[in-house]
Homo-oligomer: A and B are copies of this chain.
Amino acid sequence: MAVYTEIPDDEFARFMAGYDLGAVTSMKGIAEGVENSNFLLVTERGQFILTLYEKRVDPADLPFFLGLMEHLAEHGITCPLPVRNREGTALGHLAGRPAAVVTFLPGIGVRRPRAEHCIALGGALASLHLAGRGFAITRRNALSVGGWRPLFDNCLGRADAVQPGLGAEIARELDILEAAWPADLPTGVIHADLFPDNVFFLNDRLSGLIDFYFACNDMLAYDVAICINAWCFEPDASLNVTKARGLLAAYQAVRPLSAGEAAALPLLCRGSALRFLLTRLYDWLNTPDNALVVKKDPLEYLKKLRFHRSVAEASAYGLAT
């Protein structure tokens, strides 16, 4: 939720002149996405989103992100489509930053998903996993198991300031998850950040997926675990098994989980919880106080992590076997 960059008037005019979108009649910074600056553009051709990629995004990853959105759109996924400029490229440069214009997607993210939203999400997630096959570029998941310890090292000694004992608890988790993390499950392109604000609905029908800036290649079932954490818990951090059951059944109707994936699900949920606990903890401790972002509570994910630690098998999530 941020607009970090102010765009000089003349640079903006020059940038937009490079596109075949007609005159710009409105530009408003929007409170969406924590990583980049986003603006809603209205032009003679319609509505578009202008994104300036801020320092957390590696410019070398942009061909992956933009190419992926094109690939997914070509394969039936409703997602923002990068608009190519007059030179035929989707990636431009504005206000000292890489920049791109993508199509505007109608729809509204739900704040409090109900079971029917989780069902719709499950199907869309599986379709996304199938549609990602054949995409030629790959991107390593920097926030998978190998990335957690470096992140934790950056918080070391300060975790207990957030909650006493947190540092030791994370250290134990890391040891366990690093040792047990699966290496032989099906992989592919995953969204890796499919929280409710990245899934649009219109009249309770899923209308599109946005924000592919964490997408990468990793275990497909890890993406399922991320969604269980993001969609299926109540505000008191208890699992709503109706929601999880619906999500998983709808996923399996499109792409059945293998026996190995099903068996690994509790561990993947636990790892996914640790991943968001760690990034939130890092942001909590390192975000400058004047930053235009809402710091998210790391302890929400500590509670989820503890829940998954207590789970013996995937039937606890309502997975039909």
Interface centre among A1, A6, A26, A112 (most CB of B within 10 A): A26
Q: Is the CB of A112 within 8 A of B8?
A: yes
Contact between chains at A1 and B3 (CB < 8 Å): yes
Decide if A9 touches B110 in the complex (CB within 8 Å). yes
Give chain B residues whose Cβ lies under 8 Å from the Cβ of A25.
106-108, 202
Q: Does A203 touch B at the CB level, under 8 Å?
A: yes
- Verify A106–B1 contact, CB threshold 8 A: no
Q: Mask for A193-207, Cβ within 8 A of B = 1, else 0?
A: 000000000110000
Does A42 belong to the interface (CB within 8 Å)? yes
Binds B, one of A29-37, A56-64, A130-138: A29-37
Query: Known interface pairs A29-B30, A32-B28, A40-B40. Does A290 touch B289 (Cβ–Cβ under 8 Å)?
Result: yes
* Shortest Cβ gap from A40 to chain B (Å): 6
Chain A: number of interface residues, binned into ranges: 20 to 34
A295 on the B face (CB < 8 A)? yes
Contact with B along A1-33 (1 / 0, CB 8 A): 101001111000000000000011111111110
Min CB gap A287→B, angstroms: 9
Q: How far is the CB of A262 from chain B (nearest CB, A)?
A: 32
Cα distance A26–B47 in the bound complex, in angstroms: 11
Give the residues in chain B near A112, CB-CB below 8 Å: 8-9
- The answer to whether residues A292 and B1 also contact, given A28-B40, A30-B30, A40-B28 and a CB cut-off of 8 A, is yes
Copies in the complex: 2
Nearest residue, chain B, Cβ from A29: B31
Q: Does A111 contact B (CB under 8 A)?
A: yes
Taking CB atoms, residues of chain B closer than 8 Å to A47 are 42
Which residues on the B side are within 8 Å of A292 (C-beta)?
Answer: 1, 31, 292-294
Q: Are B111 and A24 interface neighbours, CB within 8 A? A: no
Q: How far is the CA of A203 from the CA of B27 in the complex (A)?
A: 13
Partner of A31, one of B31, B42, B111, B289: B31
Q: How far is the CB of A49 from chain B (nearest CB, A)?
A: 9
Q: Which A274-321 residues sit within 8 Å CB-CB of chain B? A: 289-290, 292-295
- Seen from chain A, the residues whose Cβ lies within 8 Å of a Cβ on chain B are 1, 3, 6-9, 23-32, 40, 42, 47, 104, 106-108, 110-112, 202-203, 289-290, 292-295
Question: What are 19 A-B pairs with beta-carbon distances under 8 A?
Answer: A3-B31, A9-B110, A23-B202, A23-B203, A25-B106, A25-B202, A26-B107, A26-B108, A27-B108, A28-B31, A28-B32, A28-B40, A29-B32, A30-B40, A31-B31, A40-B40, A289-B289, A289-B290, A292-B294
Known contacts A25-B202, A289-B289; 17 further A-B pairs (Cβ under 8 A): A1-B3, A3-B31, A6-B111, A8-B112, A23-B202, A23-B203, A25-B106, A26-B104, A26-B108, A29-B30, A30-B31, A30-B40, A31-B292, A42-B47, A289-B290, A290-B294, A292-B293
